[in-house]
């Protein structure tokens, strides 16, 4: 592919995109903020372009600066990664105006899925099941109560322009509908700039399962199976796997068919994901379309062998899909753990800092996507995910066993991380039995938290700088040779293993 690509993102996803570009012989330009100047993707990109500034608004969200960079470096295309400008219709329009290929859906498709109500309507017209609720926006409180009484309580009042779990409230009675209609409207106006609301029946503790699809510019669509994303905390996914234990072949086929119909109706092009909620009786409902490459795309890559970034670039270059549905085979099982620099002691609040030692896990069936290196200082301006640790196995059990080994090997010293939490999940009966839904962490986290705090006490008492450390280890008073520091590391591991045996 003859192309020069600007990457409008940072961290592990910028590195991920660069790797595929190097494979395909595509030249890359990476824009970056001041704090990201010494990041790995900046080092690996063919060209670097400083945007100037630190905040997202000054840099990765700044449309004029990014367009100027792309035009000035003679790029043909822009890959937005995820987050930042990945689903921003005005950014896509700015690309189109400047004859830059946006690696993502065309603005027309973004419009058809532009907000939650439009997406709901598009899916409904395509005969994709949607959650029972209001047909359009709720004009006033009286209409809201009318709809709620018709579909039955509990209901959820949702802000059409809300996101990430913000701007939604559960109501159990007509009084609550009236009260929450008013507060959600006010909150929505101030938080999202628009106060349009709708209402849905509330599903109780559903599972969250999503279908990955690829659509080319000729209208051909293939699905690459599902990802199980129920294990999340406050609407932040923590761990994803493919396939999902909740689907049998028949249900999987119905979900994939629904995703295809929905994306076709939206005239969708490029990689996209259709999210569904699954209720306890095996019914499924459309939730949202993710119009981007997702954080968790690698579990799909591991089970299908398809390079999703390569497919995105080919589709953006107007190439027809090189595969048909019969060529897609889901093989084995993959799990992805999001490693965040977060402190379980302080309610998992982001805890940036300097990673004094980083040792990624390796070995059979292990993949790590990360821009970390020993000595790297995590900037405070961006999100707290610092690595994605994935395992693949011939079946779920093998993927879990490999994940345990990898979590045990992974060393992130200097900042607290979610490594120990993932290990606790890999040993939890509910997880092992596949018996979980979106409420999973609410139930098990209080129980796990005491274990996580135990680990910290142990680590501090033993002076151990292991991945079990939930906060920075004490600064070493005398510099040690690499040999002796390696020996103390090995000793610390032995102590940790003895201790863990009794855990």
- Interacting residues with ligand MV4 (CB under 6 A): 131, 156, 165, 200-203, 206, 208, 232, 235, 287-288, 438
Burial classification of residue 183, based on how many CB atoms lie within 10 Å of its CB (0-12 exposed, 13-18 middle, 19 or more buried) = exposed
Sheet holding 207-215, edge to edge: 284-290, 270-278, 207-215, 221-228, 239-242, 333-340, 385-393, 366-370
* Rounded least distance, CB 234 to ligand MV4, Å: 8
Helix, strand, or coil (residue 9):
coil
* Rounded least distance, CB 342 to ligand MV4, Å: 18
Q: Which phi-psi region, left, alpha or beta, contains residue 2 (left: φ > 0; alpha: ψ -120 to 50)?
A: beta
Bond into 243 cis (ω within 30): yes
Cα three-residue angle 76-82-83, rounded to 5 degrees:
115
Other Cβ atoms closer than 10 A to 404: 14
- Catalytic residue status for 292: yes
Q: Nearer Cβ to ligand MV4, position 385 or 470? A: 385
Q: Which two tokens stand for residue 275?
A: 């999210």
Q: Nearer Cβ to ligand MV4, position 244 or 469? A: 244
Q: Nearer Cβ to ligand MV4, position 170 or 494? A: 170
Q: Nearer Cβ to ligand MV4, position 37 or 234? A: 234
* Rounded least distance, CB 442 to ligand MV4, Å: 9
Please enumerate in sequence order all residues whose Cβ is within 8 A of that of 307, keeping only pairs 6 or more positions apart, or say none: 20, 23, 301
Q: Nearer Cβ to ligand MV4, position 121 or 345? A: 121
Return d(Cα 55, Cα 195) in angstroms, integer.
Answer: 27
* Rounded least distance, CB 21 to ligand MV4, Å: 32
End-to-end alpha-carbon separation of the chain, Å? 53
Choosing from 10, 292, 367, 402, the catalytic residue is 292
Please enumerate in sequence order all residues whose Cβ is within 8 A of that of 344, keeping only pairs 6 or more positions apart, or say none: 416, 418, 420, 421, 449, 452, 453, 470
Write down the residue that tokens 């700015």 correspond to: 94
* Rounded least distance, CB 147 to ligand MV4, Å: 13
Q: Nearer Cβ to ligand MV4, position 10 or 169? A: 169
* Rounded least distance, CB 381 to ligand MV4, Å: 25
Separation in Å, CA 394 to CA 300, 331, 338, 402: 14, 7, 21, 11
The helix/strand count (H/E) of the chain reads as 16, 22
Q: Looking at the annotation, which residues are catalytic? A: 292
């Amino acid at each position: 592919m003859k192309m020069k690509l600007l990457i409008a993102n940072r961290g592990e996803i910028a590195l991920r995109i660069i790797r595929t570009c190097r494979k395909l012989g595509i030249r890359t330009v990476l824009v970056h903020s001041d704090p990201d100047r010494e990041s790995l993707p900046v080092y690996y990109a063919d060209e670097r372009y400083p945007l100037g500034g630190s905040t997202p608004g000054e840099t990765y969200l700044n449309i004029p600066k990014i367009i100027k960079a792309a035009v000035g470096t003679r790029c043909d295309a822009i890959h937005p990664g995820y987050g930042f400008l990945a689903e921003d219709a005005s950014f896509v329009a700015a690309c189109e105006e400047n004859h830059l290929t946006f690696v993502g859906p065309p603005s027309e498709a973004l419009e058809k899925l532009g907000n939650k109500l439009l997406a709901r309507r598009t899916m409904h017209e395509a005969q994709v099941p949607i959650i029972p609720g209001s047909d359009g926006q709720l004009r006033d409180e009286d209409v809201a109560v009318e709809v709620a009484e018709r579909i039955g309580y509990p209901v959820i009042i949702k802000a059409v322009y809300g996101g990430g779990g913000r701007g939604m409230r559960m109501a159990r009675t007509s009084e609550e509908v009236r009260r929450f209609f008013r507060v959600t409207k006010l909150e929505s106006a101030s938080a999202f700039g628009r106060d349009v609301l709708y209402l849905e029946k509330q599903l109780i503790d559903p599972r969250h399962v999503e279908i990955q699809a690829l659509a080319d510019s000729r209208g051909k669509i293939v699905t690459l199976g599902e990802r199980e994303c129920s294990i999340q905390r406050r609407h932040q996914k923590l761990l994803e796997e493919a396939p999902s234990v909740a689907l049998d072949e028949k249900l999987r086929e119905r979900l994939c068919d629904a995703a295809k119909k929905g994306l076709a109706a939206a005239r969708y092009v490029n990689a996209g994901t259709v999210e569904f909620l699954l209720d306890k009786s095996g019914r499924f409902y459309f939730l949202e379309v993710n119009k981007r490459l997702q954080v968790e795309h690698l579990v799909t890559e591991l089970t299908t062998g398809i390079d999703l970034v390569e497919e995105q670039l080919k589709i953006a270059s107007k190439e027809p899909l090189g595969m048909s549905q019969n060529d897609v085979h889901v093989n084995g099982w993959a799990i992805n753990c999001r490693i965040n620099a977060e402190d379980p002691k302080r309610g998992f609040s982001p805890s940036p800092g300097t990673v004094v030692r980083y040792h990624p896990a390796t070995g059979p069936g292990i993949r790590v996507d990360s821009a970390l290196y020993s000595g790297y200082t995590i900037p405070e301006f961006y999100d707290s995910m610092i690595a994605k640790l994935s395992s693949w196995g011939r079946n779920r059990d093998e993927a879990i066993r490999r994940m345990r080994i990898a979590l045990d090997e992974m060393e992130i010293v200097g900042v607290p991380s979610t490594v120990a939490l993932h290990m606790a999940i890999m040993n939890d009966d509910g997880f092992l039995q596949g018996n979980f839904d979106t409420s999973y962490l609410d139930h098990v986290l209080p129980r796990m938290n005491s274990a996580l705090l135990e680990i910290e006490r142990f680590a501090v008492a033993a002076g151990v700088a292991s991945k079990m450390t939930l906060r920075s280890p004490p600064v070493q008073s005398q510099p040690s040779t690499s040999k002796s520091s390696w020996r103390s590391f090995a000793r610390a591991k032995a102590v940790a293993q003895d201790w863990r045996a009794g855990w």
